[in-house]
Chain A
Amino acid sequence: DTAVSQTPKYLVTQMGNDKSIKCEQNLGHDTMYWYKQDSKKFLKIMFSYNNKELIINETVPNRFSPKSPDKAHLNLHINSLELGDSAVYFCASSPFWSYEQYFGPGTRLTVT
């Protein structure tokens, strides 16, 4: 069984489009995260949610909007995509009060 899953795995789109990435975890964790990995493999946190409440909101353009319909899901919607948004986006989850994070397989976004 997949613990943290993301869809789609690959996403190719044109500049200016709006797209969403979905994340689901079946671990019963309370906290979920979005990370961005750039072309140089550098990983940086974007957002975290705890039980549907936004906790961390790093300096991310407001074209990026996370949404958590329930504590098992955290989706990422991106408006007006730009070339610089091309990256691999990772979802992660962790139990409440835990520092161990479990990562999904990633979504490779390519903006042309």
Chain B
Amino acid sequence: AQSVTQLDSQVPVFEEAPVELRCNYSSSVSVYLFWYVQYPNQGLQLLLKYLSGSTLVESINGFEAEFNKSQTSFHLRKPSVHISDTAEYFCAVSDTLTQGGSEKLVFGKGTKLTVNP
């Protein structure tokens, strides 16, 4: 079974400051990793994913995450945040062995990012 730990439940930052949202996972098998974002009163949107290949993955709105297998981490970073980045961010993991509709995501408890002016 997998588990995900998001170390910070809330992260307040000022606009244009850098931010890092931490995510660690536990699994006995290889995993795929995801970051989802949930804006207030909305559903979850996939922000970025690591399936294979380069360990550094990027989103279209400036976020990036790096898969570190030795540290079992997948931290999310942005060099300069905007007020519009205020949202809840969820790290999720899925093992690579399940197939055919069994691909369940195990989520962390979320990190609320608040960007202040």
Interfacial chain A residues near B49, Cβ < 8 Å = 99-100
**Contact, CB under 8 Å: A105 / B103:** no
For the complex formed, measure the closest distance between the CB of B71 and the CB atoms of chain A, giving whole angstroms.
22
The residue in B38, B88, B101 that gathers the most chain A C-beta atoms within 10 A of its C-beta is B101
Q: Is B67 an interface residue (CB 8 A)?
A: no
By a CB distance below 8 angstroms, the chain B residues around A48 are 101-104
Q: Which one of B46, B90, B94, B102 contacts A43 once the chains associate, using CB atoms below 8 Å?
A: B90
Interface contact A42-B105, CB-CB below 8 Å: no
Q: Are B101's CB and A101's CB within 8 A?
A: no
Q: Is A41 touching B109 in the complex (CB atoms < 8 A)?
A: yes
Write out, one digit per residue, whether chain B residues 76-102 have a CB within 8 A of any chain A CB (1) or not (0): 000000000000101000100001111
Which one, A42, A51, A55, A104, contacts B102 given CB within 8 A? A55
Beyond A43-B90, A103-B43, is A96–B109 a contact (Cβ under 8 Å)?
Answer: no
Among A99, A101, A102, A105, which residue has its beta carbon within 8 angstroms of that of B51? A99
A36-61 interface code vs B (CB 8 A; 1 in, 0 out): 00001111110011110101101000
CA distance A10 to B43 in the complex (A): 13
B101 touches A55 (CB 8 A): yes
**Would you call B100 and A43 a contact (CB within 8 A)?**
no
> Does A106 count as interface, using CB distance less than 8 angstroms?
yes
| Residues 79-110 of chain A, each 1 if its beta carbon lies under 8 Å from chain B, else 0 | 00000000000101010111111111110000
Contact of B7 with A by CB under 8 A: no
B72, CB-defined interface residue at 8 Å? no
Is B32 at the interface (CB under 8 A from chain A)? yes
Q: How far is the CA of A105 from the CA of B100 in the complex (A)?
A: 24
Q: Check B88 against A55 for contact (C-beta < 8 Å).
A: no
Question: Across the interface, do A105 and B107 meet the contact criterion of CB distance under 8 Å?
Answer: no
Where the two chains meet, the residues of A that have a C-beta atom closer than 8 Å to any C-beta of B are 4, 30-31, 33, 40-45, 48-51, 53, 55-56, 58, 90, 92, 94, 96-106
B residues contacting A by CB (< 8 A) are: 32, 34, 36, 38, 42-46, 49, 51, 88, 90, 94, 99-107, 109-110
